[in-house]
Amino acid sequence: MIMRFGIALATYNGAKFLREQLESLLRQSRPPDHVVISDDSSTDETLGIAEWFRRAAPYRVDIVGNQRRLGPMGNFLRAADACEADFIAFCDQDDIWMPTKLEICERHLVANKSFAAIHSVENFGLMTSGRHGENTMHFGTIDGLQIPPARVIWPGMAMVVRNDVLHVASRLKVLWEPRFDSIAKLRPISFLHHWSHTHDLYALTAARLLGNITFVQDVLARHREHENNYSMGGSAWCQDSRVAESWGHAQNVGYRILSAFCKDFAEMLGEDECAEVLPEGRCRLARQHYERWSHIWHCRYRLHEDGTPLLARMAELGELHRMGAYRGHFNGGLGKRSLIKDVLTAFLLAALPASRNFLSPNDNSHG
């Protein structure tokens, strides 16, 4: 069976780098079948460059313009929704693709019956060049539910997903957002609660729930860092100041937040509507997955809490071990570094810092 490949390209005032990216699309060893360029009301030469590409490409290219600004999330999803394809690759306007990106991703997606392929990336531009993924990913195909819910730091430009993933994500989004809004009114929310608000998490969350994800070692794109797409300060893991005001500054607050998210998501997966969205049996497995992680994060919260007695901390450590919390990152666990951290905490809590920038990229709690 011949599979169709689509590229969803979101643009907004990207004239400075767009032509170089489009040239890399023309060099693909496996050409796409359909490219959709969704422009978010650019005021520079972006649309003129897009029109040049439409004329130069030997395949179908559609250019759609938005009457009003949709923002990155809405713009990407509009492009993806218009792609008539079995597989869809998100494409940033300022990156550069390697010539074999689509060919290699298609090979893995078909051979492994995967719902998403995620490849390594080389960063260049504003910051020191370096490769992302090669030292942080398990390479090969695994069930998405083997990945901890918090291990989500993969950019959309490194993903290729089945069209089914976006259809499921869209239906889950409808169920989640009313719940999300009510949660936000009751208490602080975490970065993970925003999965339906960024196209990267949107696609990855649905792919994890559906089944296999393939991690590809090959560096298949160069990610350009520049002043308009790279933030020098902060992190996606840093929380709103209201979190600290409501829950304090202790280092274990991040674990409490993650536990709450997993509980929230598991409750949604227990609704009858979700059983109609996911394949038979998959919704039950996904709910058990999030319930397990809610319990793991709550145990870590109790273990790291200042007022927890030594015997209680030891009990939490034993429970974490029983649940397999210290297996590898891509085998349903947190890894050995988290085990060492938790053992030291159980015995030497008083010697640890009283506060830290929780949920930062350097915190092993999310991976």
In sequence order, the 6+-apart residues with CB closer than 8 A to the CB of 193 are: 180, 183, 184, 261, 264
- The Cα 343–Cα 334 span in angstroms is 14
Instruction: Answer yes or no: are the C-beta atoms of 124 and 223 closer than 8 Å.
Output: yes
Looking at residue 54, its pLDDT comes to 97
Dihedral angle of Cα 353, 358, 359, 365, to the nearest 10 degrees? 30
Q: How many helices (H) and strands (E) does the chain have?
A: 12, 10
5-225 belongs to which CATH class? alpha beta
- The Cα 66–Cα 9 span in angstroms is 13
Residues of the chain with CATH 3.90.550.10: 5-225
Instruction: Answer yes or no: are the C-beta atoms of 83 and 6 closer than 8 Å.
Output: yes
Q: Whole-prediction pTM value?
A: 0.85
Closest CA to 366 of 279, 239, 247: 239
Return the SS3 of 355: coil
Instruction: Answer yes or no: are the C-beta atoms of 90 and 157 closer than 8 Å.
Output: yes
Looking at residue 73, its pLDDT comes to 87
CA atoms within 13 A of residue 42's CA, in its CB half-sphere? 24
Tell me the C-alpha to C-alpha distance, in Å, between residue 175 and each of 79, 167, 271, 275: 22, 13, 9, 12
Looking at residue 137, its pLDDT comes to 64
Q: Are strands 130-132 and 87-91 parallel, antiparallel or unpaired?
A: unpaired
Looking at residue 244, its pLDDT comes to 45
Q: Where are the beta strands (DSSP E) in the chain?
A: 5-11, 34-39, 60-65, 87-91, 96-97, 116-125, 130-132, 140-143, 159-162, 212-225
Looking at residue 35, its pLDDT comes to 98
Number of other CB atoms surrounding residue 345 within 10 Å: 21
List, for the chain, all residue ranges whose pLDDT scores fall below the cut of 50. 135, 230-244, 350-367
In sequence order, the 6+-apart residues with CB closer than 8 A to the CB of 265 are: 149, 290
Alpha helices, H only, 187-325: 199-210, 241-247, 253-269, 272-277, 282-304, 310-322
Tell me the C-alpha to C-alpha distance, in Å, between residue 364 and each of 17, 25, 62, 76, 291: 35, 37, 43, 31, 20
- The Cα 214–Cα 207 span in angstroms is 10
Q: Give the pair of three-digit tokens for residue 25.
A: 């699309």
